[in-house]
Structure 1
Amino acid sequence: MLAAATGSWQLLQESIGVSAMHMQLLLNDRVVVYDRTDSGPSNLPLPKGKCFHDSNDTARVVDCTAHSAEYDVSSNKFRPLTVQTNFWCSSGAITPDGELVQTGGYKDGERNVRVFGPCSTCDWQEIKNGLAAKRWYSTNHILPDGRQIIVGGRVQFNYEFVPKNKAANTFHLPFLWETNDPKIENNLYPFVFLNVDGNLFIFANNRAILLDYMKNKVVKTYPTIPGGDPRSYPSTGSAVLLPLKNLKASTIEAEVLVCGGAPKGSYSQAIQGKFIGALNSCARILITDPNPQWVMETMPLARVMGDMILLPNLDVLIINGAASGSAGWEFGRNPVLCPVLYKPDNKIGARFFKQTPTTIPRMYHSTVILLRDGRILVGGSNPHMYYNFTGVLFPTELSLEAFSPHYLEAKFNC
C-alpha cells in the first residue's frame, strides 16, 4: 500500500431533511434520494395539501413530512417528493429510457413497483402488486433487452423480471437456499453482474455462480472465497465489476472485486454487544477464466458496510462504513472516515492508496454515487430505528457531501 492522502471534501448541504438510504443519479443531472417511510417524521415538510393519510398504515396514519427528495446537482437545491409505500431496503435500476424503477421494500411496499421519471416536476408513480413475490433485500440488474431481473430477497430463493410477462412467474434458484443461514441470512442483497457471455454472475454469502437466466440453468460454479467468511448482508461487503479488458480481438475478460465484510458470527455477536473487527481483505476473480480462482489482497483499512464505486479513470473508490460490527440497527462501531483508492492495473501490493478523510461518520444506510462532473456524492447514515440526533454514538445524518478525487485537482486542468 502506498500512502498518498489525496482528494478533497465539500459540504454541499448540512441537511436535506431526509436521510439518504438510497440515491440514484438521473440523466437530467438530478439525484433522487429516498428513505424508509416508517422511521417517523423526517425533517423535510411536504407541500401544503400533500399530507399522507392512511388509516391502515399503523406507522404513519397521518404524515406531513417527505421520505424522498430530488437534489439538483447544478443548483445545489432540493425539493420534497411524495411516496406512498415503504422503500426500506428495496432495490432498483435505471431503464434504457432513463426512468428509475424501484421495486419491493417492507410491508406495504414489498410487492410494489415505483417509477420516477427524469423531469423537473416528476414525482413517484406506484404500481401496486407489480411483483410476483415479496421482495425485501433483493438485487436488481438491467438486462440487454431492457427488462430488469430481481434476484432473491428475504426468504425468496428465486428471481423474477419486470416488467412482468403475461404470467407473474418466479423462477426457483437453489443457490440462494444453499447460501442461506436461517439465523442470519447472509445471502441478502446478492452481488449481481452481467457477464460478457450474457449470463449473470451472482454472489451470495461466500461463493458465486454463473446463471443462464433464460434457461434457469447454472452454467458455472465458482470456488468459495478463501477463508469462507460471508460478504453479503448483514456481513455487508461490497463489490464491483472491474473495467473490461479486450486482450484479443475475440476475447474480452471480466473480473469481479469483492472487498470487506464481517467475519462469521459478527451479527450474532453484535446483538450481544460484542463488535468483532471487520474483514480487511479483498477477493478478485476472473469470471471469464475456464478455471477461475480467487486472488486475495489486503486493504489498508478493515471495513464493513463500505461502498465501492468505479471512477472515470477506471480506478475503484472504497468509502464509508465501519471497522467493526455488522450491518443492522446500532451494530456498527469505529467509523472508517478515510476512503481508499484501488488501482486495478497496478501490481499486487501497490494497488491501495489512502485518501483524505471526511469528518462525518457514514454507517448503516449510507450511500454514494458518481456525478457527471467526476465528483462522488456521499450521503445517508441512520443506524437507528427512527431519526435520532442526540444521546447516541452516531446521530442520524441528513447532510450531503462531495468527495473530489485527485483527478479533479487544478494541475490537471487543460
Structure 2
Amino acid sequence: MYGFCGKTSAHCGEGCQSGPCSQAPISPAPSAAPAPQNSNPGSFRTVGQSGVPAMHAALLPNGRVVFLDKLSNGQYAYSAEYDPESNTYTPLAYKTNAFCSGGSFLSNGTVLNVGGNAPLTWLDDTVGNGFQGIRYLTRSSSDASQDGENWNEPGNQLNTARWYPTLQTMPDGSIFVASGSLNGLNPTVLANNNPTYEILSAEGVTLGQSITMQLLVKAQPYYMYPFIHLLPDGTLFVFVSKSSETFDVANQKTTKSFPDLPGDYRTYPNAGGSNNWTPEVMICGGGAYQDITSPTDPSCGRIAPLVPNAAWEMDAMPEGRGMVEAVLLPDGTVLWVNGAQKGAEGFNLATDPAFEVLIYNPKATLGQRWTTGASSTIPRLYHSVALLLLDGTLMIAGSNPDQMPVVAPDVDPQGFHTEFAVEIYTPPYLSGDNANRRPTAITLSKLDIETGVSTFTISFTAPGNAQKVQVALYHGGFVTHAVHMSHRMLFLETQGWKAGATEQTITVAGPPNNNVAPPGPYVVYVVVDGVPGVGQFVMVS
C-alpha cells in the first residue's frame, strides 16, 4: 500500500521513500506528552450550515468566507460564500472542477484558485476539466456590489496539470505553484506525478514553464501539498514528507538543506500541520502509511531556518494526530485543531476523531507549551478546514471523507458522513472576563499600507488600566487539507501607547519590505493585554 514497503516495521528498502534499510536510523521522535487543561479553555457553538462540503476555505476582504468542494442533491452547487454575521450562505458556480486544488491571494485582493480534478461530465456537464484550471474570485471591503458573484474563469490555464498543488505569494506579487498530480492516479507510479513548480504572474497568469524540483522528486510518493513559507530573506522554506530546504526561486537552486524531521511522514496522505513567523516553522502530527490501520504521530518539530546550523527542536502533543492543522492567533499563540488519531487522508481511511483544541504557547518553556482547550462533538476528518475570522474567533467547518457527499449518516457504514455544520470556537482571549476587555472604536488613518515607508495611526478605546498594546498584521491565506497556504502574521512596531489611559492614539510602522509581507489583503488586529479587537482589512503593497 501507499507508503508501506520494504521491511514493513521501518518502511525502508529499495524504492521506499525512507531509503535503503542500511541507512543510519533517524533519532526517534518523542512520544505523546500530557497537556493540562487550559484554565480558560474557550468554547464551541454551532452557528450555521456551509452550503457545500468545506474542503477549501479563505477569508475574503468583505469579511465573508468562501468554501469550495462539490454537492449534488438534484441540483448542483460547488462553492459557497458564507456570511459569519448572518450565518447564511450564497451558492457560487465555477466552470472547471476545483476538487483538491490549491490557492492564494493576488496583490489586488483577488482569491486565486488553481488546479483540481477531472471533468464532471458523468454528473454535471457544466463542470469541465480542472487539472489546469485557474479561477479568480474578487471581493472588496468597501464595495458590496461584488458579493455573491460567481468564480471568474476567463480561460487561463496552468502550464501543467496539478491536483494537490501548494501556492505561495511572492514578494513581487507573483505566485509560486508547486507539486501536484498529473491525473489523480496512484502516486507510487512516477509517471502520474508532477514534481515541478511554475510561476504565475502578479495577475495570476502562468509564465509557461514547469521546472523540476529535486526535493519533490526525492519525496515521491509523499510529494503533494508540500508546506511552503516565504522567509524574510526572500527564499522559500519548503518541507515535504520528512525533508526540507530553503529554495532561491530567482536562481532556481537550493540554498540550504536541513536534517530530516524525526518521526513519521508529515505531508499528504499522512499530513500534519505547519505554521510560520519569527521566522520559525513548526510541524506537528502525521502518520506511517495510507491505510485506516496507520498509527498517527504525536511529535512536533520547530526550526528557525535562517539561523546558522538550524536544527529541529522536538516537542509532542498529548496524542498522535493526522490531518491536524494550525491557526496563528493575534495574541501570539497557535491553535491546533481537527484530525484523527488513527488512519490517514483518503476516503474512509481515518477513525478515532480528535475533538479537543490544543493551545500552543511558543514563548513558554519547552515541555510546558501545550494546554488543552474545549472539545467539539463533531468529527472533523478528511476535507476539514479552520480559519480565523475578523472578530478573532475560529471558524471550523467541513469533513467529507466520502467520495461523493453522504448527507444521511445512516447510509455511511462508519458513521462519518459529510458534515455541513459550521462551528465557532471562541479562544481563551475572548472567553470569560476577557470578553469585556476588548479594545473598541478602532479607527485606522489609512487602509493602504506601503512596505518600507508607510506609517499610520490607530485610534481606539482601551479598557481601563490596560498595560500593553500590540498590533498584529495577519494574512489567513488559503486553507485546505491541513495546509494553510501563504498564512503569516507579524507584529508591527508601535509608538505612543499610554499605559492606563482609555482613549489611545498610536503610530504604527508598516512592514519593512515585501519579503516579510508580500503584497495583498491583510487584517490589522489591535491587541490590548492579549485581547484583540475586531480586525479590519488593509491592503499591503
User: Counterpart in 2 of 1:68?
Assistant: 79
Q: CA RMSD in A?
A: 1.5
| TM superposition shift of 1:87 | 1.1
Distance in 1 of aligned mates of 2:207 and 2:427: 47
- Residue of 228, 231, 236 corresponding to 2:271: 236
Alignment of 1:170-209 (within 5 A): 170-180=210-220, 185-209=221-245
User: Counterpart in 1 of 2:431?
Assistant: 409
| Equivalent AA in structure 1 for residue 223 of structure 2 | N
User: Counterpart in 1 of 2:131?
Assistant: 110
| TM superposition shift of 1:306 | 1.1
| TM superposition shift of 1:129 | 4.6
Local SS of the residue matching 1:354: strand
| TM superposition shift of 1:166 | 8.0
Equivalences, count: 368
Structure 1: 5+ residue stretches without partners: 43-62, 245-253
Aligned-pair identity in percent equals 33
Deviations along 1:176-217, whole A, 9 cap, x unmatched? Answer: 10111xxxx212100000011100000001010110001101
- Residue of 26, 34, 51 corresponding to 2:68: 34
Task: Give the direction of change, closer, same or farther, for the CA distance of 1:77–1:175 in structure 2 (3 Å limit).
Answer: same
Distance in 2 of aligned mates of 1:405 and 1:121: 30
- Residue of 78, 97, 105 corresponding to 2:108: 97
| TM superposition shift of 1:308 | 0.8
Local SS of the residue matching 1:4: coil
Distance in 2 of aligned mates of 1:112 and 1:160: 14
| Equivalent AA in structure 1 for residue 368 of structure 2 | A
Local SS of the residue matching 1:362: coil
Of stretches 370-379 and 384-393 in structure 1, the one that deviates more from structure 2 is 384-393
Alignment of 1:93-172 (within 5 A): 93-107=104-118, 108-118=129-139, 119-154=146-181, 155-163=193-201, 167-172=207-212
| Equivalent AA in structure 1 for residue 298 of structure 2 | N
| Equivalent AA in structure 2 for residue 3 of structure 1 | Q
Deviations along 1:268-291, whole A, 9 cap, x unmatched? Answer: xx2xxx513210000111111110
Of stretches 301-310 and 198-207 in structure 1, the one that deviates more from structure 2 is 301-310
Local SS of the residue matching 1:2: coil
Judge conservation of contact 1:117–1:123 (CA < 8 Å) in 2.
Answer: no
Local SS of the residue matching 1:125: coil
Task: Give the direction of change, closer, same or farther, for the CA distance of 1:103–1:411 in structure 2 (3 Å limit).
Answer: same
Local SS of the residue matching 1:178: helix
Local SS of the residue matching 2:90: strand
| TM superposition shift of 1:75 | 2.2
Of stretches 281-290 and 3-12 in structure 1, the one that deviates more from structure 2 is 3-12
User: Counterpart in 2 of 1:45?
Assistant: none
Task: Give the direction of change, closer, same or farther, for the CA distance of 1:165–1:127 in structure 2 (3 Å limit).
Answer: closer
Deviations along 1:221-258, whole A, 9 cap, x unmatched? Answer: 1110124x2100001111011x32xxxxxxxxx11000
| TM superposition shift of 1:95 | 1.6
Judge conservation of contact 1:239–1:308 (CA < 8 Å) in 2.
Answer: yes
Alignment of 1:44-59 (within 5 A): none
| TM superposition shift of 1:74 | 2.0
Query: TM-score under structure 1 normalisation?
Result: 0.86
Distance in 1 of aligned mates of 2:75 and 2:96: 14
| Equivalent AA in structure 1 for residue 222 of structure 2 | N
- Residue of 262, 266, 287 corresponding to 1:262: 287
Distance in 2 of aligned mates of 1:16 and 1:366: 12
| Equivalent AA in structure 1 for residue 274 of structure 2 | A
| TM superposition shift of 1:391 | 3.1
Task: Give the direction of change, closer, same or farther, for the CA distance of 1:333–1:314 in structure 2 (3 Å limit).
Answer: same
| Equivalent AA in structure 2 for residue 18 of structure 1 | V
Distance in 2 of aligned mates of 1:148 and 1:166: 9
Distance in 2 of aligned mates of 1:289 and 1:20: 38
Distance in 1 of aligned mates of 2:358 and 2:318: 8
Judge conservation of contact 1:339–1:355 (CA < 8 Å) in 2.
Answer: yes
- Residue of 219, 226, 239 corresponding to 2:255: 219
User: Counterpart in 1 of 2:411?
Assistant: 391
Query: TM-score under structure 2 normalisation?
Result: 0.66
| TM superposition shift of 1:260 | 0.3
| Equivalent AA in structure 2 for residue 321 of structure 1 | G
Deviations along 1:150-194, whole A, 9 cap, x unmatched? Answer: 0111211111112367851122211110111xxxx2121000000
| Equivalent AA in structure 2 for residue 124 of structure 1 | W
Structure 2: 5+ residue stretches without partners: 1-34, 119-128, 140-145, 182-192, 438-462, 464-541
Judge conservation of contact 1:30–1:71 (CA < 8 Å) in 2.
Answer: yes
Match status 1:2 vs 2:36: yes
Deviations along 1:69-110, whole A, 9 cap, x unmatched? Answer: 101122222111111111111000112211100000012101
| TM superposition shift of 1:132 | 0.4
Local SS of the residue matching 2:38: strand
Task: Give the direction of change, closer, same or farther, for the CA distance of 1:75–1:92 in structure 2 (3 Å limit).
Answer: same
User: Counterpart in 2 of 1:364?
Assistant: 382
Distance in 1 of aligned mates of 2:417 and 2:382: 11
Distance in 2 of aligned mates of 1:64 and 1:333: 31
Max radius of gyration: which structure?
A: 2
Judge conservation of contact 1:112–1:127 (CA < 8 Å) in 2.
Answer: no
Distance in 2 of aligned mates of 1:286 and 1:2: 27
Distance in 2 of aligned mates of 1:166 and 1:19: 29
- Residue of 29, 32, 57 corresponding to 1:23: 57
Judge conservation of contact 2:158–2:206 (CA < 8 Å) in 1.
Answer: no
Local SS of the residue matching 1:411: helix
Alignment of 1:331-350 (within 5 A): 331-350=349-368
| TM superposition shift of 1:345 | 0.8
Local SS of the residue matching 1:175: helix
Distance in 1 of aligned mates of 2:76 and 2:82: 16
**Structure 1 segments of 4 or more deviating over 6 A?**
none
